[in-house]
Structure 1
Amino acid sequence: MGLQELWFILIAVLFIGYFVLEGFDFGVGMLMPVLARGKKGSASPDTRRRAVLNTIGPVWDGNEVWLITGGGALFAAFPDWYATLFSGFYLPLLLILVALIVRICAIEYRGKIDDPRWRARCDVGIAIGSWVPAVLWGVAFANIVRGVAIDENKKVVSGFFDLLNPYALLGGATTAIVFALHGAVFIALKTTGEVREDAVKLASRLSIPAVVVAGSFVLWTQLAHGKGWTWILVAAAAASLIGVVALTSVEREGWAFVLTTVAVIGAVGLLFGSLYPYLMPSTIDDAYSLTVTNASSSPYTLKVMTWAAAFMLPVVLAYQAWTYWVFRQRISTAHIPPSIGLPLKSR
């Protein structure tokens, strides 16, 4: 295996890490409005929302570092891939970026002003900033695997609506429902009391549709683009989601979270495994396709990057693991203090 193949694998690992970690972040934001509604006599909707949001409070911004690192590695290791991808997918990637910015601002500023209308607007921003990337990431990666119209100048000549084909839309539905399930299980794992009970029930309801939707997508991917060995990833993703159905029904959210993680790893690994040795197949002419050999940086650049990754990656992994260990305790509505934001009039 050469450095080009190594960096293709490393980029796949970075995006797998991003979708595993940011996947449950998206799920938490997607499900906040649902889990805000409790039984009569339970905590207030705002308290429940804050409890749900606090499950990712210490880690969500660190999880986004995986995307930044993945994008940087893509730019440095395969500059032609980066240029073609970001120019050809400009609109969906711009929508993802705007949604992430809205989400960041909503999370950071939600508690700054003690006003129900302000918090309601921030909650809308969190929901939009979670749903839009959850869908569009699936659409984008499905199109990368399926192939787009790339001409001899390495330029994508198809339009935005060409990306909205049935396979890509199914990919978007898959990432959305799997992230929602991943988030529901994570909330159940990180909370106690009434929020945990409702999260477990919600995860149980989401698990069967997730099996159907995600199972259809991974099977389509395998039959249309997969290789012999990627059947292993298909089986791992499918078996994991089926296991989640059983585990959520008996409230074993710890093992259910392990299996949703395996399902995400299997599905994203299937996409990258089906893609190799291509980076972006061309539907115009196979000669115009980007591959790990014709779109990579120089051997010297890849060598320097490899040494830098060898030193820095363990440090980043150790720090993030330490963060999750420090903030491992469960949260309940009883832990949520009164709002301390300033009144709206004082602003």
Structure 2
Amino acid sequence: MSSEFGHLLKVSVFGQSHGKAIGVVMDGLPAGEAVDLAQLNAFLDRRRPGKSALSTARREADAPLFLSGLENGVTCGAPLCAIIENSDQHSSDYRELADKPRPGHADFTAWVKWGGSADMRGGGHFSGRLTAPLCIAGGIAKQILARRGVFVGAHLASVGTEEDAAFPLHPTAELLDAVAAKAFPVLEDEAGARMQQAILAARQAGDSLGGVVECAAVGLPSGLGGPMFDGVENRLAAALFGIPAVKGVEFGAGFAAARSTGSANNDPFAVRDGAIVTTSNHAGGILGGITTGMPLTLRLAFKPTPSISKPQQTVSLSRMEPAELVIRGRHDPCIAHRAVPVVEAVTATVLLDLLLEGNHGNF
């Protein structure tokens, strides 16, 4: 099972949603880097379930336990391994699903690939629960990047048809921190209120909603990445598609560029304070797979949560005949708002790997 990404900094995620624990291994972290555990726990708390009616009622502390790689709060050069113990599983809610795969979930494909042996309670290894260890890795990466003047942040750009404002041309670290400090991660609180109403309405109707997360990284140097198959977009997209429920990734103007013209989409070059910049950023801070020094911007599309309480059509795997499925248990009516810190985490981890490569493994 391929659950690893990275070149110099390799990150591997392990565990199942209803197993004893989930966890992450980070191999290649530079030694001597302090990890503020209070700051890391605050970051993890941003995606933690059970905090409101907007998310699943599953309650988990999501407190990381470090098994290696961290001594007295400082990385020691050994592979860093951390686990999060699972404590609030309702596995009985998933008994029927062993025979009736949920539409929109990986139940069927996992059954085919592993001959019915996969542990799919709570989604198993495919569950959004596995984003918690991703946030351990990304939370550490964000701290290391911030000490080098690189800041990564995100906001919920849309839920259903409700939209937030977009990031400005030059997002600041203060703006990214301000969004992160909010209970609901949007730029405009009025838009956030409409999004929350839409999520609650979907939950009441037994349905769910998708959403879009916009992420930005500021302070990146120009020259990171490479052409064709090792570009910054390639590396980021490969890792970001590992986040459960992601169905699309775009950089800069993304698909809107296809409806534009060259004269409108090209970013004119200019000189500001002795540095070469562009006066717009439709490229999202990347040209030819290489960073330009402008803010890196990307957006991820998250599908509506497949686990809904409305009756759905499926099949019985044992009887090979049509069947109706009514999903029980605790599920998010929308996962996009909890995915905001996860997008930050994966983006930060990939960018740290790229910076390590650019500095030959050293800062």
TM-score relative to the length of structure 1: 0.30
Greater strand content: 2
| Higher RCO, Cα 8 Å, sep 6+ | 1
